[in-house]
Amino acid sequence: MQEHAVTVGGTRNKLDEPFFVMATQNPIEQEGTYPLPEAQLDRFMFKLVVQYSSKDELKTIMDRTTTAFSPSIEATMTGKEISGTQKLVRRVVMAPHVQDYAIRVAMASHPDGPYAVEATNKYVRWGVSPRAVQTLTLGAKLHALLDGRFNTSFSDVQKIFLPAMRHRVLLNFEGEAEGIDTDDVLREILDKTPTLSEAAA
């Protein structure tokens, strides 16, 4: 198992398991920061898009930050429990036909590949790596577990498809020039990739 640590002033501080990285990307201010290379982005499991706050959300923010509100923070899981849950997720069943679907929707992002859709061939420069299929698989298993099931379905793969894929698909010049959103390409992949392959139908 890889050991994680943070070094400050020459002192190495070991981090207890589980350890993971969360990062924010500000679409406006990037001074002093640098875009991550594609290979490093691929190591992040999900990319979530955070929209503007709603009126109710802004009210909650104001109530919590401009009054004498004092939050009460309580742990919901221990590190040991999180590690145990990670092992449990891997034991969730993914039937061969669901795994085949996860593989095919990932391969549909490969330009000129056997499962590529029109938008892929027109707008994508690089499709996803095997790590994307690993993410689709583990994410689908976790989604099923959170739904109280110990087997995955096509819908579990579909629910986590966008956050699992959007930072792994690279658009070509035509896609960037036309202002194509990667999510639009991914939605077309979902729309045009059948859940069951012809071989299994």
Contact at 8 Å (CB) between 88 and 145?
Answer: yes
Please state which architecture CATH assigns to domain 79-192: Orthogonal Bundle (1.10)
Residue 59 dihedral angles phi and psi, to the nearest 5°: -60, -45
pLDDT band, very low/low/confident/very high, at 2 (cuts 50, 70, 90): low
> Which of 87, 115, 109, 102 is closest to 160 using CA atoms?
102
Fold of 5-65: Rossmann fold (3.40.50)
CA angle 52, 186, 165 (to 5 degrees): 75
Please give the pLDDT value at position 37.
Answer: 79
Please give the pLDDT value at position 58.
Answer: 96
Please give the pLDDT value at position 90.
Answer: 95
The domain locations on the chain are: 5-65, 79-192
pLDDT band, very low/low/confident/very high, at 198 (cuts 50, 70, 90): low
pLDDT for 90-138, tens place per residue? Answer: 999 999 999 999 999 999 999 999 999 999 999 999 999 999 999 999 9
Confidence check: pLDDT of 6 > 90: no
What's the count of helices (H) and strands (E) in the chain, helices before strands? 10, 4
pLDDT for 37-90, tens place per residue? Answer: 788 888 889 999 888 999 999 999 999 999 999 988 898 999 899 999 999 999
Residue 101 dihedral angles phi and psi, to the nearest 5°: -65, -45
Confidence check: pLDDT of 199 > 60: no
Peptide bond into 111 cis (omega under 30): no
Please give the pLDDT value at position 117.
Answer: 97
Q: What is the pTM of this model?
A: 0.84
Alpha-carbon span 147 to 106, nearest angstrom: 23
